[in-house]
Chain A
Amino acid sequence: MSYETWALALLFAPLLGFFLALVVFRDRHNVAAAIVIAAGSVSAAASILLCVGGPQPTVSARWFHIGDITIAFGVLLDSRTLLMGAVVGVITLCIQIYSLGYMAHDPGKGRFFGFLALFEWAMLSFVYAPNLLQTFIFWELVGLASFLLIGFWYQKPSAVAAAKKAFIMTRIGDIGLFVGLILLFRATDTLDIESILTLYAGSSAGGAPTEIIAALLFMGIVGKSAQFPLHTWLPDAMEGPTPVSALLHSATMVAAGVFLFARFHELFMAAETTRMAALAIATFTAILASTMAVVARDMKRILAFSSISQLGFMLMGLAAGSLFAGYFHLTTHAFFKALLFLVAGAFIHRCGSNDIVAIGRQGAARTMKVTTFGLIVGGVALAGIPPLSGFFSKEQIIASLGQASPIIVAGAYAAAFLTAYYTFRMIFLVTRPDPESAAQPAGPADPDHAHGEPTWAMNGPILLLSLITLLISALSAGALVGAMSEDPIASILGQASHHASIAEMAPAIAIAILGAVLAFFEFGKKGAAQTGIVARMPGLERLLANRWYIDAIYRHTLVALATGIARVSHGVETRGFDGGADKVADATVASGRQVARRHSGRLQLYIGGAAILFALAVVFLGFRG
């Protein structure tokens, strides 16, 4: 089959799956799940085939013309979209299979799979978009799908609130993106992404218009990829089912923001000031979020904070000028973060609790071999310990910071250190529980939500993602020691990877191992206190556990302000406009009643009145005329 067929199958399979699962087979859960997984398999296979096949000309279908502008939908097949598409396809398929096990007992299973297919369709269409309009439409659809999935358990008020929060926070960024895309269209006079990139590639003449466009686009990225100050929605998004978190945090939703940065990398490179601001924001976010993860006890929340921090890392690499570094970390992170979320889901499924101390106390790690294996592979990769994939990509990012200011570099090292620390804290608390320790499980485990050992449907994807993580690690390690001429991901991207020498890598290795060792002495060693260094400073712990009070500040300022405005508007609306309209209507009815009461129904009175009026009129007109 030709590549065009695969490209179309790739996009239409999830759309068809979404329609059939949600509209036709919503209540026949297993049929819906089977359809969606079949569609996911088609997309995954097609995306891998296309990725292996290499770049091809754009496939597109014209929608309509306006003047010289052609609006089209299509599939852009260059190195960036191909790699991202394959990542999305494979991870989504893994998560769909995993959901078979995780959502087996859920009464809304059919709906869930329908939404998963919608999510996949939106994300793939966004990734492969050849023009700005398609980019924007599917960017918003990705937001919609994540809204639906975060609020999937809509009976739970907290889930509804989280979904609303996610949607509104990302919408704030989307305003910037929308205006930015319009300005970009005005500046370049074309919607076609490839022509726009050619226009900006190599042009050092940035100037104010380019800076403004880049800053507005970055605003959208800040919202979508949960960077400071719009990061607060992501931890709350944990209210959704765990497979959703896995999807949201690895290949879709938050990755969309980073992908947009990579997609318009040439544009951002031409905007020097915005690039530096983005670098600073990303570094700050990376540190901020990892400090929050250090004290979190909810397994999914630890992973959520770590996602924010790793997204900061990706944007640091991209903003520092290395497309490969940021993209590489996006790819490796997608796999090991999806893996970690699936692992967390398996533990939660088994123990009925999100608390890492509680999970550890139940001794789940001893019986769940596959899950624990996945936890260690994903955790070590996340911590950036060689030779696993996270190390290579994070080292690339730190290497790309070469010309940046020392503060940024120090920030990157600090975030890397904290990442290793909180990751190993999680691993040790889950795998080496110490009943004597001071840490107490947060409340009793909820037996209603414990569903027993994970089935093959859950273990399979965990195993597969572990193997993919190991495979990427092996390929990168091979490139490093010279067994392969070039890093495979770099060769797909057509970029040069600049692996430093071992000596230059030493600080990155040391900092990660330092974090892991500190975690070992506090949590892993026999008889360790298992409380952590931060717990000895109650003030600091309170600050971190309350997420630096950023949510509280928002609640008391912006949210209070918006609520106040809404209340005033509501008053004006109900009492002012509605009340006024009601008064007019009431007066009309009342006057009608009054007039009607004067009507006696006596015909002769009417006729007499008419005759008198007529006579008067004649007399008056007669005298005047």
Chain B
Amino acid sequence: MTLPAFTMFALLLFCMGLYAVLARRNLIAILIGIELMLNAASVNFMAFNYFVAPDPAVGQIIVLFIIGLAAAEVAIALSIILAVYRQRRAIDIEQLTEVKG
């Protein structure tokens, strides 16, 4: 296994996440897409940490941070989605356009 293989995998993962964020209309699906993108970033960190970095501890600490952050983010995002759903009985992003100019 080499570094380009890992980065290609991470890129793939990221593009899948981005696609989900851009193409899906369901807020939950978009949230999952964001999670995928975060994980792609984590994979990148771990790969570079393993192959390049002189001190392996730094990359692992950052990945741990990202996991913690993702957990917190999911909690807040899900509660926002729930609140939106309670208010308007829909979580379709096409209908949430109040902030347009």
Contacts and interface: CB of A to CB of B under 8 A. Distances in A.
24 contacts: A596-B101, A597-B101, A598-B101, A599-B100, A599-B101, A600-B97, A600-B100, A601-B96, A601-B97, A601-B98, A601-B100, A601-B101, A602-B93, A602-B97, A602-B100, A603-B93, A604-B21, A604-B22, A604-B23, A604-B93, A607-B22, A608-B22, A611-B18, A611-B22
A595 interface: yes
A229 to B, nearest CB: 66
Nearest to B23: A604
B94 A602 contact: yes
Interface residues of B, number: 12
Nearest to B24: A604
Interface in A346-369: none
Contacts of A601: 96-101
Interface string B34-71: 00000000000000000000000000000000000000
B19 to A, nearest CB: 10
A218 to B, nearest CB: 70
4 A-B pairs with least C-beta separation: A601-B100, A596-B101, A601-B97, A599-B101
A603 B97 CA distance: 8
A595 B101 contact: yes
A604 B99 CA distance: 13
A600 B96 CA distance: 11
Interface string B68-97: 000000000000000000000000011011
A602 B96 CA distance: 8
Contacts of A611: 18, 22
Nearest to B15: A611
B21 A607 contact: yes
B18 to A, nearest CB: 6
B23, B96, B100 — which one has the most chain A CB atoms within 10 A of its CB? B100
A595 B98 CA distance: 16
Given A603-B93, A607-B22, 20 more contacts: A596-B101, A597-B101, A598-B101, A599-B101, A600-B97, A600-B100, A601-B97, A601-B98, A601-B99, A601-B100, A602-B93, A602-B97, A602-B100, A603-B96, A604-B23, A604-B93, A607-B21, A608-B22, A611-B18, A611-B22
A372 to B, nearest CB: 86
B26 to A, nearest CB: 12
Contacts of B23: 604
Nearest to B99: A601
Nearest to A608: B22
Contacts of B100: 599-602
